[in-house]
């Protein structure tokens, strides 16, 4: 077997996997979902998903990867269940689709660094025009994809791990500084209250589906990203504790991102919180307005810091999204890594063009599809988001745990998990994981998958 490379240490793996998890999902997605989906009630449901259902999926993915030392498709073949590699293929498809639109949003964020540095806060009101200017934002997207490809082409320890070790600590320092700053503003408390005091009357079926999709997306689960990263993990590393740390880091950064953003909104709305329902535009429209009201050099510094932070977070995630198809091509088609990287990155960039032009430039992709029972059309980027995040990822997660428990079998999974985790066998964690992986997660995820598809695409609301 060709030398596939690997992480240099357990810490290297944790940093890279946490880097994959922490991304636009935490800093862009989480706050806007909270704003849209009922504030703290959403946060509570989200936390339940992360710890009770997603953590077991994460452990399973890493174990499958490490056991087989293969990519998301090859792993199933290697275990002797070729038919099941369809789950891996679906994962690779999800990865390609997610990266195609994720990179568009990362490109917007990248361009905002220059706007903020130049003190152009008026961009907030012109966001619609900004994203219609597809040649400019397309160039930013191209630069972002090229940076991602460059990192991945340097290999696992020399590229992916190194970037994460540099970017993640910087990100944490930047985000904490911004939290401290935003808490000193007037009316920050109103923001905290909205964010942290749950009102469960806000809890609807769609809040639950969104929380599930968000949890999977944010933890990079359900598409084999962690099977792939797991394949580079050392045999003596502790998967149980690594996965716990990755989950905590991801949830922690999402929560901290909320602590940064909601006080800012409290400040801007004089405590009324009326602007919070703005959805995806939250960080591109509302935040620059806030930076503008801070004004001057300070506003530019805060704004620039924010978008640099966002791009760092996004980069360690795009790197992991690209690594999934790249590892597949390298392992299964014996193509050299550097070649595979540029080939796959180019294809994905092209796949992203409909998402790029579907925000007002192209009428066709802007009003791409009307879901059954919906009163207005959905644009291509949002459609990809619904398809990949809210449906394919939970479905992938459901099938992966079902496979591990009932096809590959629990005792084999347990065997792999106990490598590097001496106290695992017989522990409470083992009992819980067995229950969750065999019964709880497949059932809950399976049922919610069906409900989500019915509700999102067909307008049939069961809960
Ligand atoms: N977890 C990343 C984020 O929150 C996105 C991602 C999803 C990365 C799936 C890899 C796999 O932005």
Atom of ligand 1 nearest to the CA of 225: 11
Between CA 416 and CA 240 the distance in angstroms is 11
Range scoring the smallest mean pLDDT among 9-18, 267-276, 367-376:
267-276
Residue 210's pLDDT is: 87
Cα(217) to centroid(ligand 1), Å: 5
Contact in structure between 68 and 421 (CB atoms under 8 Å):
no
Mean pLDDT of the 197-202 span: 85
Q: From the CA of 272, how far away is ligand 1's center (Å)?
A: 32
Q: Which atom of ligand 1 is nearest to the CA of 313?
A: 12
Residue 20 CA to ligand 1 center (angstroms) comes to 6
Residues 185, 263 contacting (CB under 8 angstroms): yes
398-445 per-position pLDDT tens digit: 999 999 999 999 999 999 999 999 999 999 999 999 999 999 999 999
Q: For residue 95, report the distance from its CA to the centre of ligand 1, in Å.
A: 9
Q: Could you tell which of 256, 317, 397 is best to mutate to test the pocket of ligand 1, judged by most ligand atoms within 8 Å of the CB?
A: 317
Please tell me the distance between residue 295's alpha carbon and the centre of ligand 1 in angstroms: 33
DSSP H or E segment with residue 62: helix 55-68
Local confidence band at 279 (pLDDT 50, 70, 90 cut-offs) = low
Cα separation, 390 vs 75, whole angstroms: 24
Q: Nearest C-alpha to atom 11 of ligand 1 is from which residue?
A: 220
Q: Read off the DSSP letter of residue 137.
A: H
Q: Is the CATH code 1.10.4160.10 the one for domain 10-362?
A: yes
What mean pLDDT is predicted for residues 277-303? 84
Asked if the model's pLDDT at residue 169 lies above 80, the reply is yes
DSSP, res 404 = I
Minimum mean pLDDT among 166-180, 201-215, 249-263, 386-400: which range? 201-215
Confidence of residue 1 (pLDDT cuts 50, 70, 90): very low
Domain borders along the chain are 10-362
Alpha carbons 368 and 382: distance in angstroms, whole number = 10
The rounded Å distance from CA 64 to ligand 1 centre is 19
Task: State CA 218 to chain mean position distance.
Answer: 3
List all residues whose CB is within 6 A of at least one atom of ligand 1: 20-21, 23-26, 98, 217-218, 220, 223, 225, 317, 320-321
Taking only the tens place, the pLDDT of each residue in 332-351 is 999 999 999 999 999 999 99
Do residues 86 and 392 make contact, with C-beta atoms less than 8 angstroms apart? no
98 against 209, higher pLDDT: 98
CA distance 402 to 321: 23
Q: What is the distance in A from the centroid of ligand 1 to the CA of 219?
A: 6
Q: List Cα–Cα distances, 98 to 35, 224, 382, in angstroms.
A: 23, 13, 11
pLDDT band at 192 (very low <50, low <70, confident <90, very high): very high
Q: For all residues of the chain together, what is the average pLDDT?
A: 93
The residue nearest atom 10 of ligand 1, judged by CA position, is 220
- Structure-block tokens of residue 135: 């040649």
Ligand 1 atom closest to Cα of residue 25 = 4
Residues whose CB is less than 8 angstroms from the CB of residue 234 and which lie 6 or more positions away in sequence, other chains included: 6, 7, 9, 10, 13, 420
């Amino acid at each position: 077997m060709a030398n596939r490379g690997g992480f240099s240490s357990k810490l290297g793996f944790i940093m890279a996997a946490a880097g994959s998890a922490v991304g636009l999902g935490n800093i862009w997605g989480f706050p806007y979902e909270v704003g849209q989906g009922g504030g703290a009630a959403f946060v509570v449901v989200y936390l339940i998903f992360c710890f009770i259902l997603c953590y077991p999926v994460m452990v399973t993915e890493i174990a499958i990867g490490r056991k087989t030392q293969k990519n998301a498709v090859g792993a199933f073949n290697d275990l002797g269940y070729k038919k099941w590699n369809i789950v891996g293929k679906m994962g690779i498809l999800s990865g390609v689709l997610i990266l195609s639109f994720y990179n568009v949003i990362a490109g917007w964020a990248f361009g905002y660094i220059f706007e903020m540095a130049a003190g152009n806060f008026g961009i907030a009101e012109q966001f619609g025009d900004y994203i219609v200017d597809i040649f400019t934002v397309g160039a930013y997207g191209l630069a972002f994809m090229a940076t991602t490809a460059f990192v991945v082409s340097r290999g696992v320890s020399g590229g992916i791990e190194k970037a994460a070790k540099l970017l993640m600590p910087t990100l944490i320092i930047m985000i904490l500084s911004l939290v401290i700053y935003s808490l000193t503003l007037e009316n920050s408390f109103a923001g905290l209250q909205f964010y942290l005091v749950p009102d469960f009357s806000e809890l609807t079926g769609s809040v639950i589906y969104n929380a599930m999709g968000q949890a999977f997306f944010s933890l990079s689960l359900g598409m084999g990203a962690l099977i792939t990263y797991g394949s580079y993990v050392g045999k003596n590393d502790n998967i149980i504790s690594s996965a716990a740390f990755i989950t905590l880091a991801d949830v922690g950064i999402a929560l901290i991102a909320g602590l940064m953003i909601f006080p800012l909104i409290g400040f801007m709305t004089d405590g009324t919180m009326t602007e919070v329902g703005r959805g995806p535009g939250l960080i591109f429209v509302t935040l620059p307005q806030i930076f503008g009201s801070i004004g001057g050099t300070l506003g530019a510094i805060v704004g620039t810091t924010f978008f640099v932070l966002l791009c760092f977070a996004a980069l360690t995630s795009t790197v992991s999204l690209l690594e999934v198809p790249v590892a597949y091509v390298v392992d299964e088609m014996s193509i050299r890594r550097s070649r595979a990287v540029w080939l796959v990155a180019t294809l994905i960039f092209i796949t992203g063009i409909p998402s790029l032009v579907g925000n007002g430039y192209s009428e066709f992709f802007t009003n791409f599809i009307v879901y059954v029972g919906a009163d207005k059309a959905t644009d291509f980027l949002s459609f990809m988001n619904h398809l990949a995040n809210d449906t394919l990822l939970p479905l992938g997660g459901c099938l992966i745990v079902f496979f591990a428990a009932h096809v590959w079998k629990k005792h084999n999974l347990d065997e792999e998990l106990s490598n590097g985790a001496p106290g695992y066998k017989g522990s409470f964690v083992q009992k819980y994981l067995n229950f969750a992986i065999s019964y709880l997660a497949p059932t809950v995820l399976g049922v919610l998958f069906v409900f989500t598809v019915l509700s999102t695409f067909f307008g049939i609301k069961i809960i």
